């Protein structure tokens, strides 16, 4: 049955080539845009090196300090101190590893031996960072617990920095100067896209070499919760994520914040997945976030993304519906015969939708090839530093899903109209 439908669909496609071209042009163009957008989405949120173990990873970006209603602005967010990590994160159940690092890399200017200006992004991290994140090492390795504990002046750089400083020669063992400190290169990694904000940098250094990052002194007999760090948690199993999230908030709720002024009534924090974290930072400030509930922002972001895709599909879908409708009339004799021989309306609707899905899937495949070209162009002009947009199985599946949806979306109405043709009228309207 399906085979016959496909055969018929193919024959129809070959019948009036101009129309086939118009339909396919619209579908492929729509699919190119959607697939490129999907690839962009995948680049932002998908598991790419170094963030491969995303299904077991949670980020604690900052903590929220809430004030009583009416006093100050309702809440402040601050990064974490060593103490906050040791007390509220490390003891959690089901955790394999915890890394503390500086969430945003700082830009930093220095001058190389030739006197050329070199701008780099610098990030302070610990040793566990290299185990949770799976960087592709070109040479050498990340720093160890020992290096961090002894405040060894070592560094890991990316391939672009190696190229700028040492001209693609092996760099391990050579030194570079950052803030008047001579750092010995112990590893070189592949470039990480600037869009992977939490992992990316040009130069990674152990946090202990900078006085600002060492454990904070006691303040008034109490440990300080504020610090320069964010944390990334690697859970033992991905099924533990929910309980870790809940335990973390539970733990924070037991804290009685020591300072009287400004009065802080509660400390709150969220352990979030990459998607949750990114959506929270995207909508931060745009939406009232005094209650930054874990699920609200991701839902909002997914809604916005899907809404955009739907709105974008609307015009191409109406266009395709119009073309399909006018092509039905061409086939009125065929429909008439089938109805006269007892085909039900549902059968005809099914047939037409299958035909339309065939067409959109074909457009999807063409769209895929087109998207490949577009992405290669985007990668070649270096629109976003180090970003390599790519098509992979995930993007392919999403793309096919969208083509399927588009096929149904634009096929239902013409199919319904077609199934309602009266057999007598349909047979009468014979053409050439």
Partner 1 sequence: MIKHLFKMVWNRKRANFLIGVELFLSFLVLCAVLTVCTYFLDNYRRPLGFSYDDVWHIEIAHSTTRGDEEQLKSQILLTLSTLDEIEAAAYVAEVPFGDDFDGVSIFSDDGKRILNRGNWVTDGLGKVLDLEIVDGRWFNREDEGLKGDAVVINEELAKLLFGLESPVGKDIRRWNAELLESRFAGDLAKATTYKVVGVVADFRGDDFAPSTPFVFRRVGLGDDYVPSDLLVRLRPGTKAVFGEKLLARLQSVVQDWRFSITPLSDHRTTNFKLYLSFITIGGFVAGLLIVMVSLGMMGVLWQNVTQRINEIGLRRALGGATRYIAAQFLGELLVVTTISVVFALAIIVQFPLNDAIEFVHREIYLGGIFAAILLMYLLVTICALYPSWLASRVQPAEALHHE
Contact indicator for 200, 121 with CB cutoff of 8 Å: yes
341 binds partner 1 (CB under 8 A): no
Contact indicator for 396, 368 with CB cutoff of 8 Å: yes
- Return the residues of window 209-228 that contact partner 1 according to CB under 8 A: 210-212, 216, 228
Nearer to partner 1, 224 or 268 (CB): 224
323 binds partner 1 (CB under 8 A): yes
122 binds partner 1 (CB under 8 A): yes
Piece of 27-35, 48-56, 146-154, 345-353 that binds partner 1 (CB under 8 A): 27-35
70 binds partner 1 (CB under 8 A): yes
Closest CA to 108 of 141, 155, 169: 155
34 binds partner 1 (CB under 8 A): no
314 binds partner 1 (CB under 8 A): yes
**Which of 326, 344, 346, 392 lies at the binding interface for partner 1 (CB under 8 A)?**
326
256 binds partner 1 (CB under 8 A): no
**Which of 19, 137, 275, 396 lies at the binding interface for partner 1 (CB under 8 A)?**
19
Q: Is the peptide bond before 205 cis (omega within 30 degrees of 0)?
A: no
172 binds partner 1 (CB under 8 A): no
93 binds partner 1 (CB under 8 A): no
- Strand 181-189, strand 266-269: pairing: unpaired
Q: Residue 348 is encoded by which pair of tokens?
A: 């005809």
Nearer to partner 1, 246 or 325 (CB): 325
CB of 301 to partner 1, least distance (A): 20
Burial 205-237 (b: 16+ CB within 10 A, else e): bbbbbbeebeebeeeeeebbbbbbbbbbbbbee
Nearer to partner 1, 146 or 432 (CB): 432
Q: Residue 269 is encoded by which pair of tokens?
A: 């924090």
**Which of 25, 238, 302, 346 lies at the binding interface for partner 1 (CB under 8 A)?**
25
**Which of 47, 52, 86, 108 lies at the binding interface for partner 1 (CB under 8 A)?**
108
Nearer to partner 1, 136 or 322 (CB): 322
**Which of 282, 329, 366, 372 lies at the binding interface for partner 1 (CB under 8 A)?**
329
Piece of 6-14, 82-90, 262-270, 315-323 that binds partner 1 (CB under 8 A): 315-323
**Which of 163, 194, 296, 327 lies at the binding interface for partner 1 (CB under 8 A)?**
327
Phi, psi angles (nearest 5°) of residue 215: -50, 130
106 binds partner 1 (CB under 8 A): yes
Q: Which residues form the interface with partner 1 (CB under 8 A)?
A: 18-19, 22, 25-26, 29-30, 33, 70, 106-111, 115, 117, 119, 122, 179-180, 210-212, 216, 228, 314-316, 318-323, 325-327, 329-330, 383, 431-432
């Amino acid at each position: 049955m399906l085979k016959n439908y496909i055969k018929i669909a193919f024959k129809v496609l070959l019948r009036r080539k101009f129309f086939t071209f118009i339909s396919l042009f619209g579908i492929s163009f729509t699919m190119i845009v959607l697939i490129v957008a999907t690839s962009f989405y995948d680049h932002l949120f998908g598991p790419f090196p170094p963030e491969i173990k995303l299904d077991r990873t949670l980020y604690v970006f900052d903590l929220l300090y809430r004030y009583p209603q009416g006093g100050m602005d309702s809440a402040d967010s601050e990064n974490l101190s060593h103490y906050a990590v040791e007390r509220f994160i490390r003891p959690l159940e089901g955790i394999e590893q915890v890394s503390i690092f500086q969430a945003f890399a700082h830009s930093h200017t220095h001058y190389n031996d030739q006197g050329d200006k070199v701008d780099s992004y610098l990030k302070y991290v610990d040793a566990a960072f290299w185990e949770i994140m799976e960087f592709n090492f070109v040479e050498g390795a990340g720093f160890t617990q020992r290096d961090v504990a002894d405040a060894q002046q070592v560094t890991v750089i990316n391939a672009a920095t190696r190229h700028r400083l040492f001209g693609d020669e092996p760099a391990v063992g050579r030194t570079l100067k950052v803030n008047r400190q001579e750092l010995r290169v112990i590893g070189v990694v592949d470039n990480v896209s600037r869009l992977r904000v939490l992992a990316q940098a040009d130069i990674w250094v152990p946090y202990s070499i900078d006085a600002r990052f060492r454990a904070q002194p006691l303040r008034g007999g109490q440990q300080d919760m504020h610090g320069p760090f964010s944390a990334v948690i690697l859970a033992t199993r991905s099924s533990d994520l929910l309980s870790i999230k809940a335990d973390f908030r539970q733990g924070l709720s037991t804290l009685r914040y020591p300072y009287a002024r400004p009065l802080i009534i509660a400390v709150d924090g969220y352990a979030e997945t990459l998607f949750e974290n990114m959506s929270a930072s995207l909508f931060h400030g745009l939406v009232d976030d005094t209650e930054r509930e874990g699920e609200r922002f991701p839902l909002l972001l997914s809604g916005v993304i899907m809404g955009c895709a739907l709105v974008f599909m609307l015009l191409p879908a109406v266009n395709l519906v119009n073309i399909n409708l006018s092509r039905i009339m061409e086939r009125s004799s065929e429909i008439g015969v089938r109805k006269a021989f007892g085909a039900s309306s549902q059968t005809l609707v099914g047939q037409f939708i299958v035909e339309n899905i065939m067409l959109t899937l074909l457009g999807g495949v063409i769209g895929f090839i087109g998207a490949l070209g577009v992405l290669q162009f985007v990668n070649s002009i270096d629109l976003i530093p180090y970003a390599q947009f790519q098509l992979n199985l995930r993007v392919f599946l999403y793309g096919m899903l969208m083509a399927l949806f588009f096929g149904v979306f634009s096929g239902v109405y013409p199919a319904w109209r077609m199934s309602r043709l009266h057999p007598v009228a349909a047979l009468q309207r014979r053409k050439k």
